[in-house]
Structure 1
Amino acid sequence: MHYKNKNKKVLQAVMATIVIVVVIVISFAASAFASGFMDKGKNIIFMVPDGMGHANVTAARIYKNGLDGKPLNLESLETIGIQKTYSKNSTITDSAPAASAWACGEKFNNGEICKHSEGLPNNRTILELAKQKKKSTGIVATSQITHATPAAFAAHVTNRNCQNEIARQYIMETKPDVILGGGRQKFDTDPATDRDSNGCPQYGEDLAEVAQRKGYSFARTTDEMEDAVNQGKTKLLGLFSDAGMTPAYLRHPGTTEPTLAGMTQAALQILENNPRGFFLMVEGSQIDWANHAKNFEYQVGDVLAFDDAVGLVLNWIDDAGHPDRKRNTLLIIAPDHETGGFAINGPYGALSTAGDLTTIQAGWTFPGSEEANHTGGDVIVYSQGPGTKAGGTYPGLGRLFDNTELYGVMKNAMGIN
């Protein structure tokens, strides 16, 4: 009897210990989940409407859907926050340090792309970290693909104007699986010199040809891009114009250039085949250029072209045949800054009409010189998916935050702490 009682007490003690351990584990897991550390995703899609302020969104919505019409695609995302944009050395940022803040999680000086001029060490880009995790990667833009915003995700230079060097790093170092945009000239070099007009190094060989030797398919038209996708190619370089691509409002039915939505779709079709997931950056580059040019038709056209790309991404995420996509995809839509101080000024005493730009009275307030007309106001960030909602001690993205914080959100979504 004595031994039975003793064994019973030992068993009770063991069971009590197990219960305590289970409670601790469950509590820790719940706390970690609430803090965002277990809120993981397989895919990250980072979309940039360059230079877009909130008034740009309002104007495009009025033009497309009327004053009381439905929201744009980007306005349908679950979480809306506000982002600070200043750079390391300037209240008014340019695109290079703004994009580098996202891509590398640090403040940089104007003109720097994920590399400090002072020689300080810099973080690896979020695209490079994705490759470390064996994910596929891609960059898409309607500017030269070597322009500041896409460059920040796949290159490190102290001068954003070193675009041939940026192209070299794409093809020979970071090697994104998909590279789609304009800027064919930036992949070629002047054989008479090893430095360009900005004093930047030139590789000395046509980098589009180098890319093909390294396994990239090369596309110059929509048809060639779609052929590469249909053939199951896994690495694609598409350069569809010598410089920036044709603005949306100047497109004609016979153009050979793909739309931003078309390039985004091609990128997704290639990248989605990786079971480990992917990182994709998509930039509507020329919203910024339209605001620089003070061209309202240009601006509205490119905002809506960007929103078409957002709609395509949302349809991809919400595909009923792939219910895991919404759970496993982090989508962030973030302007790098506002350009031009654009505002809707009227009409006063009358109503704007959908489809009629003349009834949406608009204006710009340019600070400083024509070359320095970005503004320093905060911008709206739209997001959904892992790491975007508040929970426990984790504040989510529905708040005011610094642009550098998005790097940590993306790292956490990939399981990198």
Structure 2
Amino acid sequence: MLWLSRTTHQPHRDNNMKVSALLIICLCLILGTLGKPQFPEQEKDPKFWNTFAQRTLKNALTLQNLNRNKAKNLILFLGDGMGVPTVTAARILKGQLNGEGGEETVLEMDKFPFVSLAKTYNTNAQVPDSAGTATAYLCGVKANEGTVGVSAAAVRSQCNTTKGNEVTSILRWAKDAGKSVGIVTTTRVNHATPSAAYAHSVDRDWYSDNEMPAEALQDGCRDIARQLFENIPNIDVIMGGGRKYMFPKNVSDVEYPNVAKHSGTRKDGRNLVQEWRDRMETQKGHYVWNKKQLLSLNPNNVDYLLGLFEPGDLTYDLERNTDTDPSLTEMVEVAIKILRKNPSGFYLLVEGEFADIDKCTFRPGYKGCLDIICLLSPGPFVSCQNHFNLTQNNGLADSRSFIHIKPSKTKF
């Protein structure tokens, strides 16, 4: 806080300036301390979070008479970084695109009968990242920033803290329960959010072995792309980007053969896509890399699908090549048609990556915000927003997350 004096007497002004300077120094010291929060030792144990969640749910169930029947299917839609300011911006933009003022617009999620807020943070960070928060909502355990699928006992980038601190995701639980499972994302399939569904990595940036330090490889840690195919080898549907992390280093990309940055990155020489195709050849498995291939599939003849539509992340919807790249809606529709064949039901994680308010604010035409509107189109789902960035006018933004639940009347 800066305190200003209205007097013109020089000595007083000098004293006030000294006091103000001291206050600023003290404030900086305090904020510096807050930047390195110390969390209780018990938070490193997944049982702490599981017990806390069960107690919270039990208390909530006593407040009202809810439908407690078991759900057959679950679709979880996630807008990465889509907090309160971002949703407000999307609501206004949608209205203005329809010739209205904007504020009066009603999004589909605004109509949900049940809406709740959940506190979002990493155990070692007040404003969280996608990796730690993905671990929280997919595994039920809060974790350190930059880690996926491991508890807070694991330390970022320290490979030797991985073993014994792995946590289980809802995708694994669903698969073990006999359900079909799928992941659809507009980012890399081995990015922070989707990777928490299947991987256990102390560093979210270990996309392939090319991004890993030699020490981590020597200690036995595996890159996230490998874990996608090895940890839960029978994920029924995988769609998104990240093609280059699956191919040997310098192997040209099928879509951009003359662009070096899109070439394969793997140092171990493995072709993970071909390995997957060989394994799934007799199990109605299909690999596609463009929209035409995807939409030409007959879901009745497909039990396993791997779709990698870009070397890295997919593009914004307005920038998307509609001839070669499928939309999020098209990917989800195909995924559901494949997954719903299982009489035991299915679980599907859908991520709209480009919802962060900074990503749409600092790009011409606010194109990212249109992706948010696409994500909020009608449909039965649970929608979570895992974090958003500090882009409000003054200081810290509210880092809480929405959880929206809309009972499904649709038969899958």
Partner of 2:116: 81
TM superposition shift of 1:299: 2.6
**Which residues of structure 2 form unaligned runs of 5+?**
1-60, 156-160, 209-222, 252-264
1:255 to 323, 326, 333: 323
> Are 2:225 and 1:178 equivalent residues in the alignment?
no
Matched residue type, 2:127: I
Q: Amino acid of the residue matched to residue 167 of structure 1?
A: A
1:288-303 alignment, distance < 5 Å: 288=356, 291=359, 294-295=362-363, 297-303=366-372
Which amino acid in 1 is paired with 2:184? V
Q: Is the 8 A contact 1:45 1:281 kept in 2?
A: yes
Deviation digits for residues 30-80 of structure 1, max 9, x if unmatched? x99978794311111111100112222222222223336541222222211
Match of 1:285 in 2: 353
2:297 aligned counterpart, secondary structure: helix
Distance, in Å, in 1 between the alignment partners of 2:62 and 2:113 is: 22
- Contact map agreement 1:189 1:204 (CA 8 A) in 2: yes
- For 1:93 and 1:188, how far apart are their aligned partners in 2? 31
Tell me which of the two structures has the higher relative contact order, counting C-alpha pairs closer than 8 angstroms and 6 or more residues apart: 1
Contact 1:97–1:107 at 8 Å: present in 2 too? yes
Any conservation in 1 of the 2:190–2:207 contact (CA below 8 Å)? yes
User: Which residues of 2 match residues 18-167 of structure 1 at below 5 A?
Assistant: 38-65=68-95, 66=100, 67=102, 69-115=104-150, 116-117=154-155, 118-119=161-162, 120-164=164-208, 165-167=223-225
Question: Counterparts of 1:133 and 1:35 in 2: how far apart (Å)?
Answer: 27
Residues in 2 aligned to 1:149 and 1:181: alpha-carbon distance in whole angstroms = 12
- 2:386 counterpart (329, 336, 347): 336
Query: CA 1:106–1:68 in structure 2 vs 1: closer, same or farther (change >3 Å)?
Result: closer
Mapping of residues 218-237 of structure 1, within 5 Å: 218-230=287-299, 232-237=301-306
Secondary structure of 1:92's partner?
A: coil
Letter of the 1:93 partner, please give it.
Answer: P
Distance 1:290 1:298, change over 3 A: farther
Unaligned runs of 5+ in 1: 1-30, 193-199, 315-330, 343-363, 368-374, 387-417
Checking the alignment, whether the CA contact within 8 Å between 1:85 and 1:378 is kept in structure 2 is yes
The letter of the residue matching 1:234 is D
Give the C-alpha shift of residue 290 in structure 1.
Answer: 5.1
1:189 alignment counterpart: 248
1:152 to 1:100, Cα distance in 2 relative to 1, 3 A: same
Partners of 1:219 and 1:81 lie apart in 2 by 38
Q: Which residue in the other structure is 1:346 paired with?
A: none
In the superposition, the TM-score normalised over structure 1's length comes to 0.66
- Is the alpha carbon distance of 1:383 and 1:139 closer, same or farther for their aligned partners in structure 2, counting shifts above 3 Å? same
- How far apart are 1:140 and its partner, in Å? 0.7
Q: Deviations over 1:265-323 (max 9, x none)?
A: 11111111111011100000011285376226123211112123xx2x33xxxxxxxxx
The answer (yes or no) to whether the contact 1:229–1:269 under 8 Å persists in 2 is no
2:404 pairs with 372, 376, 382, which one? 382
**Distance (whole Å) between structure 1 residues aligned to residue 332 and residue 123 of structure 2:** 31
Report the number of matched residues: 301
State the Cα RMSD in Å: 2.8
Contact 2:316 2:368 in 1 (8 A): no
| Cα distance change on mapping 1:36 and 1:72 into 2, 3 Å | closer
Percent same amino acid among aligned pairs?
A: 29
Q: Within the alignment, does 1:212 sit opposite 2:282 as a pair?
A: no
**Alpha-carbon distance, 1:233 to partner:** 0.3
Kindly state the Cα deviation for residue 191 of structure 1 after the two structures are TM-superposed.
7.8
- Report the Cα distance in structure 2 between the residues aligned to 1:292 and 1:202, rounded to whole angstroms: 35
Q: Among residues 265, 272, 288, which one is paired with 2:340 in the alignment?
A: 272
Kept after mapping to 2: 8 A contact 1:113/1:151: yes
Q: Please give the secondary structure, in 1, of the residue aligned with 2:196.
A: helix
Contact 2:359 2:368 in 1 (8 A): yes
225-234 or 262-271, which deviates more: 225-234
Distance in 2, Cα, partners of 1:32 & 1:377: 28
